[in-house]
């Protein structure tokens, strides 16, 4: 019986040690995937604070609008304005874990804020109503509920930056990372033209490459 007990103890030690090594490796691998986001000047981007965002290749910026083709819209839409280098103020907020700085690969919500003199009572969170549908339902608009599958996004480092001197990023829509969304893959967000207006949507093209700009006080 003694040899049996001895080998059993060895087996337990081996199992516990192996499991500890696996957990350590897995935790470090997960941590390595998360990187603190930086703005155009190289400073860390604050979580839950407003920033301007601008595409790297097309120029201009993104902003919130209540008018498309001279028609009022509610909820509001997020559009690209090639003539505006400042753009709107957008707040990126990680949903499950509050930290000082924004990190890549974390589920987050993007708040557009409220336009002045608006009469629309919908929420201002970026929303994709149906990731399986075609435009306009796969376009980024607003009106969703915080921490739901429609408003769930992630920021990732851009795989092949256009400008190596600038920290650039891409967006993904990740329904399964928030709320009760189905277990599915994340979808890259691209710039697309819909009825003559540049918008952000799930279209399967090259991911939208953008940079963060700190808002001047």
* Tens digits of residue pLDDT in 5-17: 544 434 434 333 3
Are 104 and 78 in a shared domain?
yes
| Cis upstream peptide for 136 (omega within 30°) | yes
Are 125 and 168 in a shared domain?
yes
Are 146 and 194 in a shared domain?
yes
Distance CA 189, CA 17 (A): 42
If phi > 0 it is left, if psi is from -120 to 50 it is alpha, else beta; for residue 145 that is beta
Q: Domain tally for the chain? A: 2
Instruction: Tell me which residues of the chain have a pLDDT lower than 50.
Output: 1-3, 6-32
Are 21 and 73 in a shared domain?
no
- Output the pTM of the full model: 0.79
Are 61 and 17 in a shared domain?
no
Beta bridge partners of 109: 93
Are 13 and 78 in a shared domain?
no
Are 85 and 177 in a shared domain?
yes
The whole-number pLDDT of residue 4 equals 54
Are 167 and 195 in a shared domain?
yes
Q: Is the dihedral of CA 13, 18, 21, 26 positive or negative?
A: negative
198-211 as b/e: b if 16+ CB within 10 A = bbbbbbeeebbbbb
- The DSSP string of 36-105 is B-B-TTSPBPBTT-EEEEEETTT-SEEEEEEEETTEEEEEEEEEEETT-SS---EEEEESSS--SB-BTT
Are 119 and 196 in a shared domain?
yes
The pair of structure tokens assigned to 94 is 């990680």
Are 79 and 185 in a shared domain?
yes
Decide: 35 and 164 in contact? Cβ < 8 Å.
no
CATH code for the domain in which residue 136 is found:
2.80.10.50
Are 25 and 109 in a shared domain?
no
Distance CA 152, CA 146 (A): 8
Are 23 and 93 in a shared domain?
no
User: Which pairing describes strands 71-81 and 61-68: parallel, antiparallel, or unpaired?
Assistant: antiparallel
Rg (CA), the chain: 21
Residue with tokens 């993007």: 110
The whole-number pLDDT of residue 82 equals 87
Structural domain for 6, as ranges: 1-33
């Amino acid at each position: 019986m003694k040899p049996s007990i001895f080998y059993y103890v060895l087996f337990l030690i081996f199992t516990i040690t192996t499991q500890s090594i696996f957990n350590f490796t897995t935790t470090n691998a997960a941590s390595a995937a998360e990187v603190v986001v930086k703005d155009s000047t190289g400073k860390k981007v604050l979580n839950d604070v407003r920033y301007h965002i601008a595409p790297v290749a097309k120029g201009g910026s993104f902003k919130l609008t209540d008018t498309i083709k001279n028609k009022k819209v509610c909820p509001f839409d997020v559009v690209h304005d090639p003539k505006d280098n400042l753009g709107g103020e957008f707040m990126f907020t990680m949903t499950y874990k509050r930290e000082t700085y924004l990190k890549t690969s974390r589920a987050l919500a993007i708040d557009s804020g409220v336009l002045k003199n608006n009469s629309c009572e919908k929420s201002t969170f970026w929303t994709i109503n149906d990731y399986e549908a075609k435009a306009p339902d796969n376009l980024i608009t607003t009106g969703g509920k915080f921490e739901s599958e429609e408003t769930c996004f992630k920021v990732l480092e851009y795989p092949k930056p256009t400008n190596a001197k600038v920290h650039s990023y891409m967006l993904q829509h990740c329904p399964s990372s928030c709320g009760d969304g189905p277990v599915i893959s994340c979808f890259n967000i691209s710039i697309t033209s819909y009825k003559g207006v540049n918008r952000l949507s799930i279209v399967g093209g090259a991911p939208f490459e953008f940079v963060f700009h700190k808002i001047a006080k």
